Structure 1
């Protein structure tokens, strides 16, 4: 069973003397702005930015945006690098005619498409077995022989030999 305890303090705090606290604050060098009763403020005052500084920062971010987009950076990496949100990045890119690639898959280049009915002779199979015995992985063998990974695996099935598996901690 759960026992609920009251979170109220056991003693009541001494009432604060507001006028004494204000006098102590002013004595330490603090400044209090007095707002007339006729005026009201809903939002805190915003700091005034120097237009030259803001323009310089914008130009620096624009140059960095162009460089990153040229390298193929996506929106998430732009957010991290520019320290801006997606909406501001898109707006800046649209204003200056920069096209952002929103999704570009990362792929390893494959060898040129080869016809699937290509006969692979015994010499190629012998080379694949030799590279396998030397400890090369299937993608490396495919690259050496100019084949696709699927063709090398099919070659192993056809000639009934297994390729060496990479070590358990190694991700290739």
Structure 2
């Protein structure tokens, strides 16, 4: 009788899996002929002290990474991605180590103070606004680049007859 190569490969894989299982401390109960395997309990793997030490090292590495990311201002979503943990575990780990996660940080700085009266705009600032407009910048972007309020940029556009690009609103 000739055996197929897939049967040989499957038996090698099974033998390797059994060796790994036994090496990790697993116990295989042999069922005698005539008895059923239903009465046997499920095999269990007892944890060794080595795996506890590996887990402690892994947790300490995650705590150090967490500290570094929090210092850089990372939010919970970035921490989830970097640590490969869920939100609940990240919050628990931070609490246990006395770390505070900042949840909301503005991307852009504070808005410029709005002036009560309309400031007289010189030709240089208007020239810059016209240049940025020709490059395709929107009024809020021009305001941020020039350090003006959006209202001031619109007033420049009105006074110098500049048309600013507007973002298309999707419906």
TM range (shorter): 0.5 to 0.7
User: Residues 74-93 of structure 1: matches in 2 within 5 Å?
Assistant: 74-93=75-94
User: Which residue pairs with 2:23 in the alignment?
Assistant: none
8 Å CA contact 1:74–1:103 kept in 2: the answer is yes
Q: Deviations over 1:85-120 (max 9, x none)?
A: 222111111111000112334x32256313142322
Matched residues in 2 for 1:60 and 1:82: separation?
10
RMSD of equivalent CA atoms:
3.7
Which residues of 2 match residues 15-94 of structure 1 at below 5 A?
32-34=28-30, 41=41, 45-46=44-45, 48=47, 50-94=51-95
The residue number in structure 2 matching 1:155 is 156
4+ aligned runs moved over 6 Å, structure 1: none
Other-structure match for 1:12: none
Normalising to structure 2: TM-score of the pair?
Answer: 0.60
Q: Specify the SS of the correspondent of 2:108.
A: coil
Distance 1:111 1:66, change over 3 A: same
Partners of 1:54 and 1:129 lie apart in 2 by 58
CA distance in 2: counterparts of 1:113 and 1:56, whole angstroms: 50
Ranges in structure 2 where 5+ consecutive residues have no aligned partner: 1-10, 19-26, 32-36
Task: Report how many residues are paired.
Answer: 137
For the Cα contact (< 8 Å) 2:133–2:163, is it kept in 1? no
- Does the Cα contact within 8 Å between 2:118 and 2:152 map onto a contact in 1? no
Contact 2:75 2:103 (8 Å CA) reproduced: yes
Distance 2:78 2:43 in 1: 33
**What TM-score, normalized to structure 1?**
0.59
